[in-house]
Chains A and B, each alone.
Chain A
Amino acid sequence: MARIMTIDDSVSMRKLVAATLAAAGHEVVEASNGSEGLSLAKQGLVQLFISDINMPVMDGLAFVKSLRTIAAYKFTPVLMLTTEMDPDKKKVAKEAGATGWLVKPFDPDQLLATIRKVLD
């Protein structure tokens, strides 16, 4: 089981992800924006990040960019949570260093299946 961080300014969305992950036995770290996520990431090693894109203070794209500059997180999977199926947005996310994306709305099984893929 892994230590996973969920980053979202929407409490309900974050809790939904966190509760799903916790129920599957993962350890969950919650952050409400990118900059909080970064400082938490520096406090203890995280194996996977699930981040919203649109957030105040520091958005998801800036977060991935900064995260990739930290040696320990150079290759760590980062999934962006997005409502967009817009290819442009995906491209921007990829260029920023994101591993992949999860499309909202998702159901818990789908989320867990995706996570299993990345963590194996």
Chain B
Amino acid sequence: MAPSLSELQQQLLGTFLEESYEGLDNLESGLLGLESSEDGSVAINDIFRAAHSLKGGAATFGFAGLTELAHEMETVLDDVRAGKRVVTPALSSLLLQGVDGLRALLADVRQGLPADATAFAALISQLRAVSKQPKHTDAPVTSKSTVAATRAAPGTWHIKLKAAASILSSGNEPLRLFRELGSLGQLQVSCDATDVPPLSTLEPETCYLSWAMTVSGNITRGQIEDVFAWVADECQLDISSSATTKESDPSAASAAPVRVESGARNAEEPLESIRVSVGKVDQLMNMVGELVITQSMLGELEDDGPIDRARLARIREGLSLLARNTRSLQDSVMRLRSIPVSIVFARFPRLVRDTSQSLNKKVDLRLTGQTTEVDKTVLEKLSDPLVHLVRNSLDHGVEGPQERLAAGKPESGTIELRAYHRGGDIVVEVEDDGRGLSRERILDKARRVGLVADDADLDDNAVYDLIFAPGFSTAESVTDLSGRGVGMDVVRKNIRTLGGDVSVTTKPGKGTKVCLRVPLTLAIIDGQLVRLGDYHYVVPLLSIVESIQVDPKFVMRVDGRIPAYRLRDEVVRMVDLAKVLAIPVAKNEASDRLMVVVESDGEKIGLLVDELLAQQQVVVKSLETNFDHVDGVSGATVLGDGGIAFILDIVVLGRLSRRRSALGLVAA
């Protein structure tokens, strides 16, 4: 027998939600596209289909609220598709509100709440008003009790059917109709073959017959009409009754079986899922295949013979293969979790449209690098900071049309979201061509709130960096958009918990660029293990340029105080890690120590360490979740011997030491 719908529903709910969200995204971007382009004929079909599919799915899954709202949207969109209605900005806004409503209802469904459309009653009636011919309110879910509403009574029905000549070619077989009719009661059929032509002119695929049937039993007219429903349009059908069958009064409808809403949907969370291309899965299969081969190769060496040289060599070979395979497998699995940033970028056209309208600004949004892939968790956490940055750009960065024209810029401002890979990181930039940051205003504000001393002499980067300081906000008045207490410090904090960092560059009058740099995955990094006194630290391998033995000849001081190292034709600032991290070390002389040259914020710095140990992959554990945030440390890891090592955050370390230099804290 058929499995119960609710069981199936449960299994397919995740799929339904996923495709519905996707449909809504398409609906939204389609609507925005309609607004901006003149020729929307192609898009409107996709837009309509999105609403249509959502309605069908929602109805099948029994979400009446979703169905209702989607239905009204679909009705309006159907008119648009048929060319009976034009999408005005007002209508577009209304439909976009509908998209928001549907999203909210889907979110309810996801949380196992009843997706109740009453909250959107106003919206629904607005949509209904748009579609002018007010639809009757019965939701499709309840509309099918009409057939059973007529009460069955004993009687005899006479039916005449003259089939359309083409009935066979629609796959309808008259015999099937009789069989079905026969299942209702006693059936007698007589066939009229007078129209059948002589064999020479007979078309075998044409139907020339007509039939007269009588069927008796407790049968309603509706039941009979149902049998012929698929062919009624093209056939001549005459149904009459010889018995005293009374069509029942409307109140009988209450006796009709009531469809039970499947409210018993248990609150079980639908499983989260991600879409994975077949290519990625194939790759994974390949890797597993390789692994199996390696395993069997090692397995052959397992018998009890003595371990001689030859055998040892083969074991070594096997182990190195195993290491390589594990590595590849890990890469493949990581890639499974990767999804394109377009998923997050997709929300911005709408955000920019709505926000710029409410600010009376003209802004073009440009999205580049949409296919750049990043770990799903990382991407989810990037979303909010990005929204904040884009809002900042809209609110504070891009000027109003008048101001822009006066400054000799095009009337429309541009905000560009750009994503790309750099090493093991993903970089997302938010760049605008607005008024840029004001050094004076930032310094002024920072002095007032006591972030910097009045006489401190800071370079541009240090000044701009101040906007990330807690409690700093230059917005004079708190607007609806940004400056709601959630400042750039929160953005930086969020990005740092991902093991990344934020930086800002700006040109007064030209624009501002905020750059988010986040590792592609949070789970595993390649690291260089170093020793410092009795402690072990991990330096991310990706940031290491080279490691050298310090030669005293090349040690120097810039400005007479900042220790530096002449590395070929470059001068590299030396950072004594032991001092920055306050670790007691035996050797204080830089000369007999090692220097790991790393790149931090585009600048090379040399980290002084006692010893270089192994290079290995380390599993990153968050320090924040288990302890607290420590400047200069991005996380911790458990080593092969069970010991613990901190993972150094090179960018922050560079910045820390730069600040120390600037503040004159450099130890002699």
Partner of B170, one of A12, A81, A98: A98
Main secondary structure of the interface of B (DSSP, over half): helix
Contacts of A78 on B, CB cut-off 8 Å? Answer: 171
* Pair A117/B2 contact, Cβ less than 8 Å: no
Nearest first, the 5 closest Cβ-Cβ pairs linking A and B are A108-B2, A100-B230, A99-B171, A12-B16, A105-B60
Chain B 132-149: CB-based contact to A (< 8 A → 1; otherwise 0): 000000001101100000
Contact mask for chain B residues 288-312; partner A; CB cutoff 8 A; 1 contact, 0 none: 0000000000000000000000000
Of the 9-residue stretches B44-52, B390-398, B558-566, which lies at the interface with chain A? B44-52
In the complex, the answer to whether A94 meets B176 with C-beta atoms within 8 Å is no
- What distance in Å separates the Cβ of A57 from its nearest Cβ neighbour in chain B? 11
Taking a contact as CB atoms under 8 Å apart, the answer to whether A85 and B234 are in contact is: no
A20 touches B170 (CB 8 A): no
6 contacts between A and B (CB under 8 A): A10-B57, A12-B16, A16-B12, A101-B230, A103-B144, A108-B5
Question: Would you give the shortest CB distance from A103 to chain B, in whole angstroms?
Answer: 7
Are A105 and B141 within 8 A (Cβ)? yes
B169 to A74, Cβ gap below 8 A?
yes
A11 contacts which chain B residues (CB < 8 A)?
Answer: 15, 19
Task: Decide if A97 is an interface residue (CB 8 Å cutoff).
Answer: yes
Residue numbers of B with Cβ under 8 A of A are 1-5, 8-9, 11-13, 15-16, 19, 46, 48-49, 52-53, 55-57, 59-62, 140-141, 143-144, 168-173, 176, 179-180, 205, 229-230, 233-234
Contact with B along A96-119 (1 / 0, CB 8 A): 011111011111110110000110
- Pick from B13, B59, B205: contact of A83, CB below 8 A: B59
Residues of B within 8 A of A74 (CB): 169, 205
Greatest chain A CB density within 10 A among B60, B61, B62 is at B60
Q: What chain A residues lie within 8 Å of B179 (beta carbons)?
A: 117, 120
Q: Which residues of A contact B55 (CB under 8 A)?
A: 83
Q: Which residues of B contact A24 (CB under 8 A)?
A: 1-2
B15 close to A54 (CB less than 8 A): no
**Cβ < 8 Å to B, chain A residues 55-114:** 55-56, 68, 74-78, 81, 83, 85, 87, 90-91, 94, 97-101, 103-109, 111-112
Nearest chain B CB to A67 CB, angstrom units: 10
In the complex where A12-B16, A97-B170 touch, is A106 in contact with B8 (Cβ < 8 A)? no
> Considering the chains assembled together, what is the distance between the CA atoms of A99 and B2 in angstroms?
24
Interface pair A94/B60, CB less than 8 Å apart: no
Asked if B234 and A94 make an inter-chain contact with CB atoms under 8 angstroms apart, the answer reads yes
> Are B52 and A19 closer than 8 Å at their CB atoms?
no
The answer on a CB contact under 8 Å between A99 and B172 is: yes
* A10 close to B19 (CB less than 8 A): yes
State in angstroms the CA–CA spacing of A19 and B1 once bound together: 11
Asked if A105 and B140 sit within 8 Å, CB to CB, the answer is: yes
* A15 contacts chain B at the CB level, 8 A cutoff: yes
- Least Cβ–Cβ distance between B325 and chain A, in angstroms: 33
Bound Cα distance from A10 to B46, whole angstroms: 13
Which residue in B3, B5, B176 is a CB contact (below 8 Å) of A120? B176
**A97 x B12 contact (CB < 8 A):** no
| Binary contact track A2-46/B, C-beta < 8 Å → 1, others 0 | 000000011111011001100110000000000000000000000
Residues on B with C-beta less than 8 A from A13 are 53, 56-57, 60
The answer to whether A20 touches B2, judged by C-beta atoms less than 8 angstroms apart, is: yes
B171 near A10 with CB under 8 A, answer: no
Q: How far is the CB of A36 from chain B (nearest CB, A)?
A: 15
Question: Which one, A23, A55, A76, contacts B3 given CB within 8 A?
Answer: A23
**Given A15-B12, A100-B229, A105 and B19 contact (CB-CB distance below 8 Å):** no
Closest Cβ–Cβ distance, residue B317 to chain A (whole Å) = 46
